[in-house]
Amino acid sequence: MNKIQYNSKGISLMTFILINLSSVSLLFSQVDTSFNRTYLPYKDYMKMVIEGNLDYISEKYNVKIADAKIEAVKVFQNPSFAIDWSGDKEENSINGYSMSGEISKTFELGQKRKTRIDLAKSESQLSLALLNDFFRNLQADATLSYLYAIKQNYLFNVKLNSYNTMKELSIADSIRLTLGSIMVIDASQSKIEAGMLYNDLMQIDADRKSSFLNLSVQTSSFHNDTIYFPIGKLQKPLKFFVLSEMLTTALNNRADLIAAKNLITVNEKNLSFIRKERNPDIDFNIGTSNTYLNTGFPTPASTVIYSGIAIPLKFSNFNKGEIKIAQYQIEQSEFQYKQIEIKIQNEVIQAYNQYLSLFKQVENYDQGLLEQAAIVLKGKIYSYSRGETSLLEVLNAQRTYNDLQIAYYETLYNCYAALIELERTVGIWDIEL
C-alpha cells in the first residue's frame, strides 16, 4: 500500500515538472536562423560591384561622351553650294531668264580647330579623373557595407548565444522551482530576462538581414528569395604606416586632387579657346551666272564669273566680359585646388590618428578581457545552480559579458573601418577581408 502511494507521488511530481517545462518552452518561440542565402566571398563581391554597379556604369558614360566630343570637334566646317534661277515673265511669255551657281566656305583663322580639340581633350582627362575619384569612393563604401554586414552577423550571434544561455537557465529554474529549491520570484525573473533577450534578438536579426540586403544594392542586383551572405572574419588589421609617407602619397595619388588640377587645365584651355574665337573668320565664295534672252532674234547668252571675300568687323571684341569670366574661373579653380590640398592633408592626419587609437583599443581587448568575462559568467551560473549566489549576480555577469563582446566587435569594426578610411584618404587600396 505504501509502495503504491509512493509511486503515485512520484508520477504526480514528474507530471508537474513536465507541465511546468512545457509552459516555459511555450513562452519562447523557436529562433529561425535559416533563410535562402548565397555565400559571397569578398573578392567575388568586389568583382560584382565593379562590373555591375549601375552608378559606376553610368559614370563611365561621362568618359565616353568626352571622348566622343573630341571626335566631334575635329570636324572641318562644310562648304555651301547654292543655285538660283530667275525669269523675266511678261503676260504669257518669258522674255528671258538667268541661272547662277555659287560655292562658299568659311575659313577659320588663328588655329581655332586645334584649340577646340585641346579643350575637348582636357575635358576628357577631367572626366577620367572624376571617374577614378568615383571608383575610389565606391570601393571604400562597398567594402564598408560588406564589413558592416559581417559585424551585424557577429552581434546577432552574441545575442543568440546570450538568449540560449538565459533560456536554458530559465528552464533549469522552472525545474528547481518545482523541486522547491528556489523562490517563484527568481524563476519569474529568469523568464523575463529570456523574453527581453528574445525581443532584442529579433531586432538584431532584422538589422542583420537589412545589412545583407544592402550588398545587393552595391552590386545592383536583386533576388526576392535569396540574400547574399558575406564570408569573412572580424580581426585586428596588421597594417602600419608612416605618416610623412602617407601625406606624400596622398598628394600624388588622390583622384579628386588630380581632378582639381585637370579643372585648372580645362579652364586655361577654355580661356585660350575664347581668345582664339575672337579672331575673325574669312568667308570665301566663287560662282557663275548665265543670262538668256528671248527676243525673237538669236541673242548669245552672257556668262559672269565672280568671287568674293567677306571679313566680319569684330567690334564686339571691345567687350572683354567673356575673357574676364574665363580668367576668374582659372583663379577660382586654383584656389579650389589649394583648398583640396589642405583638406587632404588634414584628412590623412585625422584618419591616421583615428586608426592608431582604435588599433590600441583592440589591443587592449585582446589582453584577455573577453576570456575573463566568460569565465566569470560560467562561474556565476555554476554557483547559482548550487544555490551559492543570487540570480542578480548571474544577470549582471551576463550583461557585462554581452556588453563587452558587443563593444569588442564594434571597436574591431571601427578599427577596420578606420583603416579603410585611411586608405581612401591616401588614395591607395590593398584591403583584404
Give per-residue pLDDT as tens, 400-433: 999 999 999 999 999 999 999 999 999 999 888 8
Percent of the chain at pLDDT > 90 equals: 47
Q: Quote the cell numbers at residue 309.
A: 571675300
Domain formed by 31-74+134-272+340-426, architecture: Up-down Bundle (1.20)
- 26-46 pLDDT, tens digit per residue, is 445 555 566 688 899 999 999
Task: Give every CB contact of residue 198 below 8 A, 6+ residues apart in sequence.
Answer: 28, 29, 31, 163
Check: CB of residue 136 under 8 Å from CB of residue 427. yes
Task: Give every CB contact of residue 296 below 8 A, 6+ residues apart in sequence.
Answer: none
With residues binned 3-state (H G I as helix, E B as strand, rest as coil), the percentages for the chain, rounded to 5, are 70, 15, 20
- 165-221 pLDDT, tens digit per residue, is 888 888 888 887 887 777 788 778 888 888 888 999 999 999 999 999 999 999 998
Whether residue 295 has pLDDT greater than 90:
no
Instruction: Please state, in angstroms and rounded to a whole number, the distance separating the CA atoms of residues 194 and 25.
Output: 11
Q: How confident is the model at residue 3 (pLDDT cuts 50, 70, 90)?
A: very low
Shortest CA distance to 151 belongs to which of 430, 424, 414, 328?
Answer: 414
* Residue of 241 and 389 predicted with greater confidence: 241
In order of 73, 86, 300, 301, 384, the CA distances from 296 in angstroms are: 56, 20, 12, 14, 135
- 103-131 pLDDT, tens digit per residue, is 988 888 778 888 999 999 999 999 999 99
* Residue of 67 and 19 predicted with greater confidence: 67
- pLDDT of 2 reads 41
Burial environment of residue 345 by CB neighbours within 10 A (0 to 12, 13 to 18, 19 or more): middle
Check: CB of residue 401 under 8 Å from CB of residue 374. yes
Q: Are strands 302-310 and 93-107 parallel, antiparallel or unpaired?
A: unpaired
Instruction: Please state, in angstroms and rounded to a whole number, the distance separating the CA atoms of residues 351 and 405.
Output: 25
- The C-alpha cell 540586403 sits at 213
> What's the pTM value of the predicted model, to 2 decimals?
0.81
Instruction: Please state, in angstroms and rounded to a whole number, the distance separating the CA atoms of residues 397 and 193.
Output: 13
For residue 337, the number of C-alpha atoms closer than 13 Å in the C-beta half-sphere is 16
* Residue of 351 and 294 predicted with greater confidence: 351
Q: How confident is the model at residue 7 (pLDDT cuts 50, 70, 90)?
A: very low
Whether residue 78 has pLDDT greater than 60:
yes
- 240-265 pLDDT, tens digit per residue, is 899 999 999 999 999 999 999 999 99
- pLDDT of 108 reads 82
- 301-344 pLDDT, tens digit per residue, is 678 888 889 888 888 888 889 999 999 999 999 999 999 999 99
Percent of the chain at pLDDT > 70 equals: 88
- pLDDT of 174 reads 83
